[in-house]
């Protein structure tokens, strides 16, 4: 290990880190640096680590004490070619303690209240866009083989949001198909066209209803789970621990959950389509006395590849939205138990709202295109 103290310019002290730093506990060297910082003429402390090789957290602790002492002396701190992970650890250590504070009611005018609300909304939008950009960057690192993630996490999350969700998605979709067929038959009976219940249920389920039902179920089940899990990690300071170890939380926590849900949702949508059509067949065959062969005939005639692919596309988008909402509110949760509950609620509500908004936008866009 090596640490060189230089006076490059007047009023500037330079600490040059070279070689390896492990179990750094040289008190005499630390005292020497602190003594040098007592010079009243010093205005800047430059930490240079261009030749630094391997190091551990003892170096971070050493630099933390030096920087805190320099800050108390109103000395400017400048980093020069230091590793990103070391800089992130120092920034995390030097961050202001996030302690809960009581909300103070401010007597402001109506216009000021509108302006403050608008600014908060604008900042929230920018924060969300930044999170989405980081998610795409994480996917890019995965493609190039640079993402810090584990396959075992991917398998664990996939098992939770895939196979374990099959039963609830099947049950709810079957009931939705049954209800859709029953309600549709009431009007179709007026025209003696009960046979078209098969077409009604098939088109409705494969184009949009299957995707929406699967999306709402997964938002309440998996999206909430994502927010609660990561939010609890925030309370236990596990996310801060990952940052301290130089592990990007976006790669380690968000990326596996995002990929698993994006992969699982189209499959769950296909299952929801099938179970919805099966529920409609139950009403058509046993309640409306439609021959099963005739029901299948009209169902197959109504089944179109375009409608089917539109539903799968909705599932893909919904998976992305649910995962982003769950992980976003989990990552940005507070440091207490109440914050975890609030993050879970926001994740579910936001996911459902955004799914409905995107459904309207996609439907409008497809109608213009002619799909």
Q: What is the mean pLDDT of residues 141-164?
A: 86
The string of pLDDT tens digits covering residues 22-67 is 665 666 767 777 777 777 777 888 888 877 877 777 778 888 888 8
Task: Please state, for a pLDDT cut of 70, what percent of the chain lies above it.
Answer: 92
Mean pLDDT on 10-32: 72
Of residues 194, 236, 200, the one with CA closest to residue 340: 236
Read off the pLDDT of each residue in 168-181 and give the average, rounded to a whole number: 91
What pLDDT score was predicted for residue 271? 93
Return the pLDDT at 314: 93
What average pLDDT does the segment 124-152 reach?
A: 88
Average pLDDT over residues 302-315: 89
Question: Domain spans of the chain?
Answer: 2-94, 151-369
Most confident of 92-96, 211-215, 282-286, 298-302: 211-215
Is residue 176 exposed (0-12), middle (13-18) or buried (19+ Cβ within 10 Å)?
Answer: buried
Q: What pLDDT score was predicted for residue 60?
A: 81
Asked if the model's pLDDT at residue 276 lies above 70, the reply is yes
Residue 127 token pair: 């924060």
Q: Above pLDDT 90, what percent of the chain? A: 27
Does position 273 have pLDDT exceeding 80, yes or no?
Answer: yes
Q: How far apart are the first and last CA of the chain?
A: 67
The first and second tokens of residue 357, run together, are 């908004």
Q: Is residue 144 pLDDT above 70, yes or no?
A: yes
Contact between residue 295 and residue 193 where contact means Cβ atoms under 8 Å apart: no
pTM for this prediction: 0.73
Note the pLDDT of residue 18.
Answer: 78
pLDDT of residue 1: 46
Which listed CATH number (3.40.50.720, 3.40.50.2300, 1.10.3720.10, 3.30.750.24) goes with 2-94?
A: 3.30.750.24
- Residue 349 dihedral angles phi and psi, to the nearest 5°: -65, -45
Nearest to 239 by CA among 127, 92, 347: 92
Distance of CA 32 to the CA centre of its chain: 46
Q: What is the mean pLDDT of the chain?
A: 84
Distance of CA 97 to the CA centre of its chain: 24
In this structure, what token pair is assigned to residue 220?
A: 């309440």
Please, what is the Cα angle at 210 between 179 and 288, to 5 degrees? 30
Nearest to 33 by CA among 1, 6, 60, 71: 6
Confidence check: pLDDT of 184 > 60: yes
**What integer pLDDT is reported at residue 211 of this predicted model?**
92
Candidate ranges 9-18, 168-177, 280-289; pick with highest mean pLDDT: 168-177
Query: How confident is the model at residue 59, as a pLDDT?
Result: 79
Q: Which residue has the higher pLDDT, 129 or 189?
A: 129
**All residues at 6 or more sequence positions from 163 whose CB lies less than 8 Å from its CB, including other chains:** none
Q: How far apart are CA 32 and CA 13, in angstroms?
A: 12
Q: Using CA atoms, how far apart are residues 33 and 67, in angstroms rounded to an integer?
A: 11
Distances (CA, A) of 298 to 150, 203, 217, 304: 47, 11, 29, 12
- The arithmetic mean of pLDDT across residues 331-359, rounded, is 89
Spatial distance between the Cα atoms of 167 and 261, rounded to a whole number of angstroms = 16
pLDDT in tens, 66-110: 888 888 888 888 888 888 878 888 887 777 655 555 555 667 777
In this prediction, residue 269 carries a pLDDT of 94
As given in the structure block, the two tokens for residue 300 are 């197959």
Contacts (Cβ under 8 Å, ≥6 apart) of 282: 174, 178, 181
Q: Is residue 202's pLDDT more than 70?
A: yes
Residue range 110-115: mean pLDDT, rounded: 82
């Amino acid at each position: 290990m090596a640490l060189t103290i230089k006076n490059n310019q007047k009023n500037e002290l330079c600490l040059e880190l070279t070689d390896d730093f492990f179990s750094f506990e040289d008190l005499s060297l630390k005292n020497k640096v602190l003594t040098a910082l007592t010079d009243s003429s010093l205005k800047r402390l430059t930490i240079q680590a261009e030749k630094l090789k391997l190091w551990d957290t003892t170096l971070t602790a050493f630099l933390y004490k030096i920087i805190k002492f320099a800050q108390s002396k109103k000395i400017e701190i400048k980093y020069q070619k230091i590793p990103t992970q070391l800089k992130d650890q120092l920034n995390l250590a030097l961050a202001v303690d996030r302690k809960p504070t009581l909300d103070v009611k401010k007597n402001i005018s109506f216009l000021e209240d509108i302006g403050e609300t608008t600014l908060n909304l604008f900042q929230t939008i920018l924060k969300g866009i930044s999170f989405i950009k980081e998610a795409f960057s994480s996917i890019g690192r995965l493609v190039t083989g640079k993402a810090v993630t584990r396959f075992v996490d991917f398998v664990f999350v996939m098992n939770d949001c895939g196979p374990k969700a099959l039963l609830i998605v099947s049950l709810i979709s079957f009931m939705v198909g049954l209800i859709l067929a029953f309600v549709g038959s009431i009007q179709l009976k007026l025209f003696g066209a009960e046979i078209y219940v098969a077409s009604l249920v098939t088109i409705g389920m494969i184009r949009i209803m299957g995707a929406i039902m699967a999306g709402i179920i997964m938002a309440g089940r998996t999206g909430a789970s994502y927010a609660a899990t990561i939010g609890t990690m925030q309370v236990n300071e596990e996310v801060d621990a990952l940052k301290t170890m130089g592990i990007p939380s976006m790669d380690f926590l968000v990326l596996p959950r995002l990929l698993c849900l994006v992969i699982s949702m189209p499959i769950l949508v296909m299952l929801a389509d099938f179970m919805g059509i099966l529920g409609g067949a139950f009403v058509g065959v046993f309640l409306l006395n439609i021959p099963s062969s005739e029901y299948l005939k009209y169902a197959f005639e109504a089944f179109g590849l375009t409608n089917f692919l539109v539903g799968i596309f909705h599932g893909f988008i919904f998976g992305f939205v649910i995962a982003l909402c769950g992980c976003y509110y989990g990552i940005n949760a507070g440091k207490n138990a109440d914050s975890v509950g609030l993050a879970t609620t926001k994740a579910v509500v936001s996911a459902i709202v955004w799914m409905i908004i995107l459904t309207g936008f996609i439907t409008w866009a497809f109608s213009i295109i002619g799909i």
